[in-house]
Structure 1
């Protein structure tokens, strides 16, 4: 039979026959020891450890063991009242609410109800105290045989947390690692682009810069006319220069006396009311809006963002990030205040990066300094960029462009928020936007931030780089974070 075969086939048969030369030394040693190769290469068996009660006795299973499947849960939430997203024993968190709802709805068994790790839980982005997300993604193994699972989970959740959808994925899916990019939204009132008060320290530095470097900054006649009109309105209300001096002298003191507001406290309240009304009535003009849009385009592309975060050096490779796009909406008015919505789409972000980007771009617009001050901050010189308020920041959604193509080859639906857009918009308006608008009206968060920056006094004039004087590349900068009074430390793991 073998003689009838062609020479190539004979050579193949000879090659496939085991010979002593082809057996490795380790294999020979294994054979001599009497241990089979199958036993030698077998993986150790996983030992089942039963749950124990308080007395150390095994707890018997009370339910039938059901198959689990890897899924991606598309979620949204208002972070107000929560100590962040990530599960933290003893604290009220978004993940704690979600995990509890999954258990109650039967998506996670009682045997796995005591530990997120047992379900392979992972989040696409972690948000801290008070921060919102219109869209976020978590991945885990769940029992999904119940066709009413989504509605049952949402019934167990508070109104300010929603699960938009539950999508099947392949076993290796990790919502954090597989995320191609992320989209964030930042809401900012248009009055934030008013120039610094002329008598503030930053206002004085701007004038000094104009004299030292004439023609290097932009004029803002509309903005300074607003300050002049405000001064006239205060004077028309009967507040004198002496009254304003008294308010300044007693700033920071308790305005309450034994019989209610002190005289100075009452004056300060009166002036604040006039200022608040003027800010709410401000409307940004087309030129300034276009200037802000142009400023934001300086962030698009790959850049070194070491100055736009904390604890990063210029030569640190991890400081390099890629921004895909930045856009600004048309102005819209909510309860008398005009707002802008900024969308930031980037591959990845660092701590406080978005808040510092918003701060930098808004400051170059309101101070009149060259827009390329933004790109100069990508260079080696270290500067101290303040963080814009956390109030306006929310995670819009993670994006899975690259991985969705792979999921489709496996027969799974793509991970996208598009089909939930209508529900998400209604949710954002009711539970997120309204919270932001109401807090700004109540606390004047943005005004407090910019007012603090404008009046900040230091030996090295920390914020002089926002003027015609520019960045002093030879100056040693104290990069310690400047703490703004009443400012939340909330952030997003970007």
Structure 2
């Protein structure tokens, strides 16, 4: 209490001495007087914020800032000084609102009690207070030559000026997700985007445009997809479709995201699902295996000498068993250098592991019988699946002996025919290791899509199957390809067709990207 009396005495002395040098000396002398027992003063007064400077007494007395400041002059609002103005002022008398004195008034006043807002005293309160330390907003001080005014929150005026200047509010950080994408490849030059080649429309061209229009990525990310860490699980080429393609990328998780993207996509492309993944997730490298299916008319398995090779053909149970026996030979690890382009027999990357391959029961659509072949493997090279199917068809048709299959895995060069790309579809991608590690961690979801299986099947029935059937009937791609089988020499160890079938320069990535990245037929 002694310190409080000294405080009031010094303020009175400053008032009587005027605003000249003696008034300053009185206040500064008080500052030196109370610099040692300051902690006890703080406890006695019970103030909650700020502090009177230990070295120079009541800091800001000489300066006095615009709002809530203390000084010799005392400004319009919340000021403290000899005069004491209308609002929040301090002095011996204490004015109507927020004043300071021995009594201290109800709002923002300074005195023995010192209230929360606009008051001045040894502690200095939340707003408009002065002291060497400086408080959260609009404070004054001298410590270490720091700024004498600290703005805590952005004022409405600043926000309005930013809006008038055209500045956009900052959005939340982008998050890594995966999208389950289904599409019909008819009319597109594959999955992968070719920036600068606008005449070749791709699936990713449509997807990126939809992402920008939906507002989940900035427009400049469409020109450089690395900015959103975009990665496809498998690259599919011209005419190849997908029912379960997975792409990983970073985007803003806006409301109704999947619906907004689909609103901007053509009917033949659809997002079927979205899930959050880990920050380092890469859809291509994290994938354990891929399942493709190949839909074809069953007359492809008709023997060239005994059966009709047209829509009237029906696959017998015996013939189906023979086909599955040959397809089963692919299971395991083999050297598939003859089933791609640009790889030698001693290239370790030519060895691939096939988990399963089989032919499902046939079915009839629009008067023609079709069947679906399925193959699951860790990864596939360019043309690999189509050549695996092409060689089995050549054997079943009677153009090649069954022994050519074992021969094709050896070091000799074997002429392996490549089946049409029309019926090839990326069906499912598998993430078993990722699911085992992160699928049950309580934060991420397992990358399984059982909840949208009906939507996947519906997309196949509405877009993929009809496109394959209609195109096969109209263009007869399988029948035309079958007519080329007699020109292949399956006894030769080197073939001009095999060596020169891909005239374009093929990069290592194109040969080994985990997909059957087929070339144009």
- TM interval, shorter chain, is 0.5 to 0.7
Deviation per CA, 1:262-317: give whole Å up to 9, x if none: xxxxxxxxxxxxxxxx7111111111110000000000000001111112111110
Partner residue of 1:242? none
Secondary structure at the aligned position of 2:239 is classed as coil
Identify, as 1 or 2, the structure richer in helix: 1
Which among 60, 67, 80 is matched to residue 186 of structure 2?
Answer: 80
The answer (yes or no) to whether the contact 1:97–1:157 under 8 Å persists in 2 is yes
Deviation at 1:123, TM superposition (A): 0.7
Partner residue of 1:248? none
Partner residue of 1:400? 431
Partner residue of 1:493? 517
Return 5+ residue gaps in structure 2 as ranges.
1-164, 503-514
Distance 2:220 2:301 in 1: 55
Q: Does 1:480 align with 2:499?
A: yes
Deviation at 1:427, TM superposition (A): 0.7
The answer (yes or no) to whether the contact 1:69–1:144 under 8 Å persists in 2 is yes
Q: Which moved more, 1:115-124 or 1:350-359?
A: 115-124
For residues 29-428 of structure 1, the aligned pairs below 5 Å read 61-89=167-195, 90=198, 91-110=200-219, 112-146=221-255, 148-196=256-304, 224=306, 226=307, 279-367=310-398, 370-410=401-441, 411-428=443-460
Distance 2:222 2:314 in 1: 52
Partner residue of 1:451? 483
Distance 2:208 2:501 in 1: 37
Q: How many residues are matched?
A: 338
Deviation at 1:84, TM superposition (A): 1.8
Structure with the bigger RCO (C-alpha within 8 Å, sep 6+) is 1
Deviation at 1:129, TM superposition (A): 1.8
Q: Which moved more, 1:399-408 or 1:362-371?
A: 362-371
Return 5+ residue gaps in structure 1 as ranges.
1-58, 199-223, 228-277, 457-461, 466-470, 484-490
The answer (yes or no) to whether the contact 1:324–1:345 under 8 Å persists in 2 is yes
Distance 1:292 1:76 in 2: 29
Secondary structure at the aligned position of 1:299 is classed as coil
Distance 1:181 1:288 in 2: 29
Distance 2:466 2:251 in 1: 34
Provide TM-score, normalisation by structure 1. 0.65
Distance 1:402 1:290 in 2: 34
Deviation per CA, 1:407-435: give whole Å up to 9, x if none: 22542111123222111111112111111
Secondary structure at the aligned position of 1:325 is classed as strand
Cα 1:60/1:385, change in 2 over 3 Å: farther
Cα 1:191/1:113, change in 2 over 3 Å: closer
Cα 1:111/1:312, change in 2 over 3 Å: closer
Distance 1:130 1:284 in 2: 26
Distance 1:111 1:193 in 2: 50
Deviation per CA, 1:223-249: give whole Å up to 9, x if none: x2x46xxxxxxxxxxxxxxxxxxxxxx
Deviation per CA, 1:174-215: give whole Å up to 9, x if none: 11110001000001111112222x5xxxxxxxxxxxxxxxxx
Cα 1:477/1:160, change in 2 over 3 Å: closer
After superposition, the CA RMSD in angstroms is: 2.2
Secondary structure at the aligned position of 1:357 is classed as helix
Distance 1:111 1:476 in 2: 49
Larger of the two Rg values belongs to structure: 2
Cα 1:403/1:194, change in 2 over 3 Å: same
Partner residue of 1:430? 462
Distance 2:220 2:319 in 1: 59
The answer (yes or no) to whether the contact 2:363–2:371 under 8 Å persists in 1 is yes
